[in-house]
């Protein structure tokens, strides 16, 4: 509870209050009241869009950057597993700080700074002050790599971002980077994605022509794609109309798409992709594009 009070950050579960009360004949039971989050289900996360999975990894890195530079010093999460986190409005938040530690391990030589994991071991340098250098930070970072980055970051990412994402995954897996560099690189990915710069190096020559139909929607004619924001249709996020055309051209069953007025957390527009345009209805909030040539 005290750590929740002291560690105030967007990716630390918010503490609303607490009280002492007797509970089941146990005197002075402490009850904390926090914001409500959904349990982190890795299987479900793997079925979501890359954009949402990237948000989870970005949330985690922002949290770890804060913990490395917190008012209490460098904080490590000794019990670092997905069940220690929840999702609140799409953001990852740590909820269990029972096993958090602010003590950097003492040492007399580098051999005292040994970190053991199931698949890898690391030896960190022992500082002249007799402390293992950045051990708390590096332990958090490697756990983020093995529990989150390897599963969530590269899979189904935009092809032009894959080299940078692979570099991030490899660098954290080998602990070549600290949290500052890792956070800077993930923020760079976010900027490339939000600005549309990641599309500049791709060849974007439309295979077909499209007719623009303003204030129109196709209510049916859905087909399924993966990953999709809609379980019964193909609803994806795009940076602009040109990217929507590129996506539609890449699906043989796509014959039209509908721009909605909904956006994702990065500001990208949500678009329905359709397999026909036989029934178009008026809708002031949408714009339909119909493929006229293949």
Residue 202 has pLDDT above 70, yes or no: no
Q: Indicate which residue of 22, 25, 28, 79 is catalytic.
A: 79
Per-residue model confidence as pLDDT tens digits over 221-249: 999 988 888 888 999 999 999 999 999 99
- Half-sphere CA count of 286, side-chain side, radius 13 A: 19
What's the pLDDT score for residue 104?
84
SS3 88: strand
Report the alpha-carbon distance of residue 203 to residue 173 in Å, rounded. 32
Does residue 79 have an active-site annotation? yes
Confidence band of 163 (pLDDT split at 50, 70, 90): very high
Of 87, 90, 44, residue with least CA distance to 265:
90
Helix (H) or strand (E) holding 143: helix 135-144
Task: At 166, list the tokens.
Answer: 């692979």
Per-residue model confidence as pLDDT tens digits over 72-107: 999 999 889 888 999 999 999 999 888 888 888 899
């Amino acid at each position: 509870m005290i750590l929740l009070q002291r560690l105030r950050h967007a990716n630390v579960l918010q503490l609303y209050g607490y009280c002492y009360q007797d509970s089941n004949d146990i005197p002075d039971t402490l009850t904390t009241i926090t914001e409500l989050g959904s349990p982190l289900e890795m299987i479900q996360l793997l079925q979501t869009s890359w954009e949402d999975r990237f948000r989870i990894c970005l949330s985690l890195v922002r949290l770890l950057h804060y913990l490395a530079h917190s008012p209490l010093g460098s904080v490590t999460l000794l019990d670092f597993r997905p069940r220690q986190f929840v999702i609140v409005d799409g953001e990852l938040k740590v909820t269990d700080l029972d096993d958090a530690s602010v003590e950097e391990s003492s040492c007399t030589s580098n051999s005292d700074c040994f970190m053991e994991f199931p698949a890898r071991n690391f030896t960190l340098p022992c500082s002249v002050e007799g402390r293992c250098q950045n051990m708390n930070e590096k332990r958090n970072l490697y756990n983020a790599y093995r529990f989150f980055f390897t599963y969530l970051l590269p899979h189904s990412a935009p092809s032009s971002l894959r080299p940078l994402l692979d570099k991030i995954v490899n660098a954290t897996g080998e602990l070549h980077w600290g949290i500052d560099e890792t956070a800077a690189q993930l923020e760079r990915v976010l900027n490339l994605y939000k600005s549309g710069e990641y599309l500049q190096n791709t060849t974007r020559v439309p295979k077909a022509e499209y007719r623009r139909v303003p204030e129109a929607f196709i209510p049916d004619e859905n087909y399924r794609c993966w990953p999709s924001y809609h379980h019964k249709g193909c609803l994806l996020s795009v940076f602009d109309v040109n990217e929507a055309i590129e996506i539609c051209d890449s699906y043989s069953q796509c014959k039209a798409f509908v721009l909605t007025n909904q956006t994702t957390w990065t500001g990208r527009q949500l678009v329905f992709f359709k397999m026909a345009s036989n029934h178009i209805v008026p809708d002031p909030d949408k714009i339909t594009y119909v493929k006229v040539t293949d």
